[in-house]
Amino acid sequence: MRRKSVIYALLILLVITLGGCNYLRQKFHSEEPVLARAGNEYLYLSDIKGVVPKGTPPTDSVLMVKNYIDMWLRNRVVLRYAEKNLEASEKDFSRQIEEYRNSLLIYTYETKLIQQKLDTAVSMQEIEEYYEKNKDIFKLRDNIVKMIFFRLSIDSVKAAQVARKMLEADTITNFDQLERFCLLRTSAYVVSLNSWYSFSDLQKLAPIVTYNEELFLKNNRLIELTDDRWRYFIRIYRFLTREATSPLSIEINNIRTIILNARKQELLNQMRNELFERALRKKEIEIYN
């Protein structure tokens, strides 16, 4: 309460500084404190509610209110000038306002209809079928990899030897053993061949520097890097380059959105056609030749 009182007092002090006591109250309009005037328009204390976020220091609050008042006055000056210098036809926005209102009404009704009637369940079969029919539109924007990654302390020499032996094998036959090793000996790891990672994700994990990502991926399968603290191990098992067909697993959410958007459009088109045909049958609308 004391903090609010301090802020309120500062605002009133600002009002007095800006406009003087004569305009603090406009007795014919309101007994509420007035912050500014532009012609016959008044900016009241209640008009700036929400301008200052909670927790703002008092000095910053005063500055924010001052800036708001300044902007309000500047806008009103330009508005008054526009009112005086535009023709009546140039100030008539009734048609635009009506069109905007109509658009809002239609949008609100269609949104409500979608919420009530749209089937939002999309099966994996639907996603797979859509993907197979439209593979050409799903192109990778980044180079991606399937990999195993982990990071060891630079001093963990024996653990590094074990790591090399496991990763040098053509295939990893015991993922449980590898995960257990990573859990016990590493400070960070990724052990999954089901997920794709972008090359930029890989660079966030390990200090890889290259000017040609594609060439780097083609020439490196087992990667070992070091810095002052860590030893990084990466085994690339598969990679795809930019413009290749994006894997289904990456596109699942995207395809689900596409299918739902198509359903929305179909639902809206059906609604519009039904309403139009009903209005024709009931002779609520007609076209004059």
Residues 6+ apart with CB under 8 A from 168: 222
Amino acid present at 259: I
Q: What is the pLDDT of residue 185?
A: 85
Angle at CA of residue 267, ends 265 and 273, nearest 5°: 100
Q: Cα torsion for 262, 264, 266, 267, to the nearest 10°? A: 160
Reported residue count of the chain is 289
Q: What is the pLDDT of residue 16?
A: 45
Question: Would the CA dihedral through 5, 7, 13, 15 be positive or negative?
Answer: negative
14/189 Cα distance (integer angstroms): 58
Whether the predicted model's global pTM rises above the 0.95 cut: no
Query: What is the predicted pLDDT for the residue at 12?
Result: 53
pLDDT given for residue 184 in this prediction: 86
DSSP for 145-187 reads: EEEEEEEEETT-HHHHHHHHHHHHSSS---HHHHHHHHHHH-S
Q: Report the 10 Å Cβ neighbour count for 110.
A: 15
What pLDDT does 80 receive? Answer: 93
Q: Is 275 exposed, middle or buried (0-12, 13-18, 19+ CB in 10 A)?
A: exposed
Rg of the chain on CA atoms, in Å: 33
Positions of the chain with pLDDT lower than 50, given as ranges:
5-6, 15-28
What the block records as the tokens of 89 is: 């036809």
User: What pLDDT shows up at residue 177?
Assistant: 82
For the stretch 251-267, pLDDT in tens is 999 999 999 999 999 99
Instruction: Give, in order, the Cα–Cα distances in Å from 167 to each of 82, 137, 237, 283.
Output: 74, 36, 10, 77
Name residues whose C-beta falls within 8 Å of residue 12's C-beta, 6 or more positions apart in sequence.
Answer: 33
Domain ranges of the chain: 2-85, 116-138+247-289, 140-240
